[in-house]
Amino acid sequence: MRISTPGRICLFGEHQDYLGLPVIAMAISLRANLTGEKRKDKNVIIHKPDLGETESFSLDDLNYTKPRDYFKSGIIVCQKEGLTFSSGFECEITSEIPIRAGTSSSSAIMVSWIHFLSQMADEPSNWNQQKIGELAYKAEVLEFTEPGGMMDQYSTAMGNLIYLQSEPYIAIETLNPNLGTFVLGDSCEPKDTLGILNRCRDARLEIIVKLKVKNPNSTIHTLNENADISDLNTNEIELYKGTLQNRDILETALSELNKSELNNENFGKLLTQHHAILRDVLNVSTPKIDNMMDAALSAGALGGKINGSGGGGCMFTYAPKNPEHVAEAIEKVGGKAYIIQKDEGTRITTHH
């Protein structure tokens, strides 16, 4: 059996979802593929040729033996949903998605894995894409109490372009603007995802707690420039204002994306505004990524932003016209460029 799942970029709401704020994310035409079949014994063997490694364990021992022991957590989450597995499996995972670069390669693999397990169970389960996304989130984030939001799992599972709100309840809306092409640029700089997530998240969660004292009836969804911020220091005020600006940029973008005809220039400008706050307030960009951005904009891209937690990894630009020029400009300053568009969610591509 072969399962294919896309990577994703976050258009709006970067570094906002773990605060309970909405995001707009797009699945991209770079995909992870998982091919596998049942074995006669209880062993689970996963070949990862891209990384030159193989992982194996037995269904009889699913105790976690390393941080982020995802293949075991996926099985455990499926078992909690009532699936049973009386035989193991052997599979191979390959991916076109840049690794550890902010484009959700790990979530695409987890979504593929959950999708695969749903079909390999003693009684297969035809879960819909949203359900697969939810279980991938449980297996990847909740099982290991990590600081991420749920955008990556839902976005790669469901595909296309989604608006995802997680409070007061999970609601997902598919948007259908005619977007055209983007260019993804990988800086090839390693990044400290958890360190950055912890720094950006914890500082702002503390701010939200402080604001509650003087603004007891406000939430992160309703706070505005009239809030009493007298308890915050200069740094915190800047972070607070940046967070609200990002929240409001997303709202503007949502109404732009819902128009019958998208204004490409406006859409591009909103991406660039979002990037400026991520760069100047949250400090998650890097000189190399800013060089790639400048080069892309000079070559005709309409806007762009850093993608993912930042501190390295990828950026992307919106280039509905002449994406080849933009890709070339990014490569000239040392990035690796991919021309991408919106793509569909996780799917079974072959049955054996």
pLDDT one-digit tens code per residue, 134-146? 999 999 999 998 7
pLDDT, position 21: 93
Instruction: Give yes or no for residue 352 having a pLDDT over 60.
Output: no
User: How much is the average pLDDT of 280-299?
Assistant: 95
Indicate the fold that domain 2-176 takes in CATH: Ribosomal Protein S5; domain 2 (3.30.230)
More confident residue, 68 or 132: 132
Residues 6+ apart with CB under 8 A from 305: 14, 271, 272, 274, 275, 278, 315, 316
> How would you classify the pairing of strands 182-186 and 303-307?
unpaired
Closest CA to 36 of 104, 87, 97: 87
pLDDT category at 48 given cuts 50, 70, 90 is very high
Q: Could you report the per-residue pLDDT of 140-182, keeping only the tens digit for each?
A: 999 998 766 788 999 999 999 999 998 888 899 999 888 999 9
pLDDT, residue 310, reads: 84
Summarize pLDDT for 188-204 with one digit per residue, the tens.
988 887 788 888 888 89
Whether residue 32 is predicted with pLDDT greater than 80 in this model: the reply is yes
Long-range contacts formed by 81-87: CB under 8 A, 24+ apart: 81/125, 81/135, 83/117, 83/118, 83/121, 83/122, 83/123, 83/125, 84/121, 84/122, 84/123, 85/59, 85/117, 85/120, 85/121, 85/122, 86/122, 87/38, 87/39, 87/40, 87/41, 87/42
- In 3D space, the residue among 29, 1, 16 whose CA is nearest the CA of residue 281 turns out to be 16
Distance CA 169, CA 181 (A): 32
Which CATH superfamily groups domain 183-340?
A: GHMP kinase, C-terminal domain (3.30.70.890)
Considering only 64-68, 250-254, 289-293, 335-339, which range has the smallest mean pLDDT?
Answer: 64-68
How sure is the predictor about 43, in pLDDT bands with cuts at 50, 70 and 90? very high
What are 317-334's pLDDT values in tens digits?
999 999 999 999 999 999
Residue with tokens 């040729």, as numbered in its chain: 49
Largest CA distance in the chain: 66
Mean pLDDT of all residues in the chain?
93
Of the chain, the percentage scoring pLDDT greater than 70 comes to 99
**Percent of the chain residues past pLDDT 90, beyond the cut:** 81
pLDDT at 14: 93
pLDDT at 287: 94
Structural domain spans, the chain: 2-176, 183-340
